[in-house]
Amino acid sequence: MKWKLPDDSTAPVITAEEHVKSRHIKKESCMLPETCVIFEIGMALKFVEANFKTITLLETLPCFLEGYECISIEGHEGVCFTRGGYGAPAAVDTLETVRALGVKRVIVVGMCGGFSDSINVCNVLIPHKILCEEGTSFHYFDNIEFVEPDRSLYNKGRAYFSNAFEVLTDDAVTSDAFYRQTYAKEAKWREKGCVAVDMESSALLSVSKYYSIPAVSILLCSDKHPLSENDVKWDWGNLGFKETREEFVRQSVNFALQL
Ligand SMILES: O=P(O)(O)O[C@H]1O[C@H](CO)[C@@H](O)[C@H]1O
Ligand SMILES: O=c1cc[nH]c(=O)[nH]1
């Protein structure tokens, strides 16, 4: 895929910096703190509001697509929390928007589907590198296969989450097409060293890299894929998954606050 023109020095027609001040936005925005946790988990913001003393910074993040609330925690005004859109283009819209509002460091907290013997539901995966099988990255880089997280955030994440979870650091893949994860496709991903799939991480890491923003992706394994057509059929979560996901969100908040 060669979608990014190799010698294109022209500016984008719409930039997030211009968009957040445009007529497309109903309310004026404020600048955000340097560190942003982007949750790719639907229940996360509500859980944070119910379990921490939060401050609403923005009721709606001024994204081009749908934007969610952006909050911080009393006494920790250097970190903000929002929900990213689902899928690579919407997630990158969130990233571009928080960057336009001053964010300089990003922690992605999401979920992944495991497709290897080595990973189980409720494990935490902090991928060493992520295979880009989504389209968004290829508009920022003309040649990219695997993208890596910021080494310091990756090391800190490994150390921190190991206190509460079984942590894996194998590679992952981000795909646009969750209904096209065929058995043969997942076998090919395993051959490349990947153990799990999500829908946003590689795009968020590659666009962070494009802007020199340190970023890491921290994923809770939400479902285990059958490895062959004879295995037990696919299903979501497990018996304790709801409570584990809540603990994962709580630990993600605490991780970001102590950085
Ligand atoms: O909205 P929640 O329940 O977090 O789930 C989201 O996460 C899954 C993919 O990670 C999809 O099912 C999507 O709906
Ligand atoms: O993107 C995702 C997330 C969880 N499980 C999957 O199979 N894919």
Counting beta carbons within 10 angstroms of the beta carbon of residue 60, is it exposed (0 to 12), middle (13 to 18) or buried (19 or more)?
Answer: middle
pLDDT at residue 252, rounded to an integer: 98
Please report the atom of ligand 1 found closest to the CA of residue 178. Answer: 9
Cα separation, 209 vs 214, in Å, equals 7
Contact (Cβ atoms closer than 8 angstroms) between residue 133 and residue 88: no
Res 51 pLDDT > 80 = yes
Res 9 pLDDT > 90 = yes
Strands (E), 59-145: 70-73, 76-83, 105-114, 124-125, 130-133
Taken in order 113, 117, 122, 125, the sign of the CA dihedral is: negative
In the reported structure, the alpha carbon of residue 44 is separated from the centroid of ligand 1 by a whole-number distance in angstroms of 11
Cα separation, 56 vs 49, in Å, equals 9
User: Does the Cβ of 222 fall within 6 Å of ligand 2?
Assistant: yes
Ligand 1, atom 8, residue with closest C-alpha: 111
pLDDT at residue 27, rounded to an integer: 84
Contact (Cβ atoms closer than 8 angstroms) between residue 194 and residue 172: yes
For the CA of 225, the nearest ligand: 2
pLDDT at residue 239, rounded to an integer: 86
In DSSP terms, 113 is beta-bridged to 197, 223
Please report the atom of ligand 2 found closest to the CA of residue 198. Answer: 1
pLDDT at residue 87, rounded to an integer: 98
Res 1 pLDDT > 80 = no
In the reported structure, the alpha carbon of residue 207 is separated from the centroid of ligand 1 by a whole-number distance in angstroms of 22
Task: Tell me what the mean pLDDT of segment 62-72 comes to.
Answer: 97
Q: How confident is the model at residue 26 (pLDDT cuts 50, 70, 90)?
A: confident
Contact (Cβ atoms closer than 8 angstroms) between residue 121 and residue 232: no
Instruction: Express as a percent the part of the chain with pLDDT over 90.
Output: 95
Q: Residue 162 to residues 44, 60, 71, 77, 251: CA-CA distances in angstroms? A: 21, 34, 26, 26, 11
Please report the atom of ligand 2 found closest to the CA of residue 110. Answer: 3
Res 121 pLDDT > 90 = yes
pLDDT at residue 28, rounded to an integer: 85
For the CA of 110, the nearest ligand: 1
Q: Which of 115, 222, 224, 249 to mutate to test the pocket of ligand 1 (most atoms within 8 A of CB)?
A: 222
Q: What are phi and psi of 75, to 5 degrees?
A: 85, -5
pLDDT at residue 119, rounded to an integer: 98
Contact (Cβ atoms closer than 8 angstroms) between residue 199 and residue 178: yes
Res 8 pLDDT > 80 = yes
pLDDT at residue 77, rounded to an integer: 94
Element (H, E) at 224: strand 215-224
Res 2 pLDDT > 90 = no
- Using a 6 Å CB cutoff, which residues line ligand 1? 41-42, 86, 111
Of 2-16, 26-40, 89-103, highest mean pLDDT: 89-103
Q: Which of 223, 227, 234 to mutate to test the pocket of ligand 2 (most atoms within 8 A of CB)?
A: 223
Contact (Cβ atoms closer than 8 angstroms) between residue 88 and residue 174: yes
Residue 217 in tokens:
């992706």
Contact (Cβ atoms closer than 8 angstroms) between residue 85 and residue 204: no
Ligand 1, atom 2, residue with closest C-alpha: 42
Q: How confident is the model at residue 21 (pLDDT cuts 50, 70, 90)?
A: very high
Q: How confident is the model at residue 24 (pLDDT cuts 50, 70, 90)?
A: very high
Q: What is the pLDDT of residues 131-183, one digit of tens each?
A: 999 999 999 999 899 999 999 999 999 999 999 999 999 999 999 999 999 99
Cα separation, 132 vs 207, in Å, equals 12
Please report the atom of ligand 1 found closest to the CA of residue 113. Answer: 10
Res 102 pLDDT > 80 = yes
pLDDT at residue 6, rounded to an integer: 87
pLDDT at residue 171, rounded to an integer: 98
Domains and CATH numbers, the chain: 17-258 (3.40.50.1580)
Please report the atom of ligand 2 found closest to the CA of residue 223. Answer: 5
Q: Which of 198, 201, 204, 236 to mutate to test the pocket of ligand 2 (most atoms within 8 A of CB)?
A: 198
Element (H, E) at 55: strand 54-58
Cα separation, 189 vs 255, in Å, equals 30
Q: What is the pLDDT of residues 192-243, one digit of tens each?
A: 999 999 999 999 999 999 999 999 999 999 999 999 999 999 999 988 999 9
